[in-house]
Amino acid sequence: MGNVRKRQVLAVVTLLFLFAWLSASFAQSAPATKTQVVMLGTGTPLPDPDRSGPSTAIVVNGTGYIVDAGTGVVRRAAAARGKGVKALEPTNLRIAFLTHLHADHTLGLPDLILTPWIMGRKEPLELYGPAGTREVMKLRTMRTSRRNRVKARV
């Protein structure tokens, strides 16, 4: 996988954050924003019972995009849904991006792939990331149902 693909993934993540920042800038003048940034986990590789693994949700026009899949990603998304962020209903978690492949950013992949599917998600998870994403996904999930294939675009 070449540098071009890495740049494309980085560009998409950068654009999502840019849209979120811009909408937050106009939030005071607009009655409601169409973009939200939700910090799902801000933990480090060190185990901390008070923090979940690194993960951010960016909600644009009612669609949630997950950036990184640290431990507890689906539970934190469900907690955000409970606080009114409807796009983070676990069955709505359909698109995810990995910024890099360190374990603390990928250990939540099995949860992100399987839990929403068990709860009724119909579409497979679309997973985008740097070179090696497919291999990490296979390692983290070992085996998944054939009905729950992941689209890993590397």
Domain of residue 50, CATH code: 3.60.15.10
Q: What are phi and psi of 39, to 5 degrees?
A: -80, 105
Residue 45: per-residue pLDDT:
83
Domains contained in the chain, number:
1
Confirm whether 15 is domain-assigned. yes
Instruction: Note the pLDDT of residue 4.
Output: 67
In this prediction, residue 36 carries a pLDDT of 94
Contact partners, residue 22, CB within 8 Å, separation at least 6:
35
The pLDDT assigned to 83 comes to 96
Flag residues of the chain having pLDDT under 70: 1, 4-33, 140-154
DSSP string covering 61-130: TTEEEEE---TTHHHHHHHHHHTT-GGGSGGG--EEE-S---HHHHTTHHHHHHHHHHTT--SPPEEE-S
Asked if residue 11 is part of any domain, the answer here is yes
Q: Residue 140: give the domain boundaries.
A: 3-24+34-153
Q: Would you state the pLDDT for residue 143?
A: 52
The verdict on residue 144 lying in a domain is yes
pLDDT at residue 14 in the model: 66
Q: Which of 48, 68, 104, 111 is catalytic?
A: 104
* In a domain? residue 119: yes
Q: What pLDDT, on a 0 to 100 scale, did the predictor assign at position 84? A: 95
**Alpha-carbon gap, residue 104 to 55, rounded angstroms:** 10
104 is catalytic: yes
Flag whether 135 is in a domain: yes
Whether 29 is in a domain gets the answer no
* Per-residue pLDDT reduced to its tens digit, 84-128: 999 999 999 999 999 999 999 999 999 999 999 999 999 999 999
Would you call 4 exposed, middle or buried from its count of C-beta atoms within 10 A (0-12, 13-18, 19+)? exposed
Q: Does residue 43 sit within a domain?
A: yes
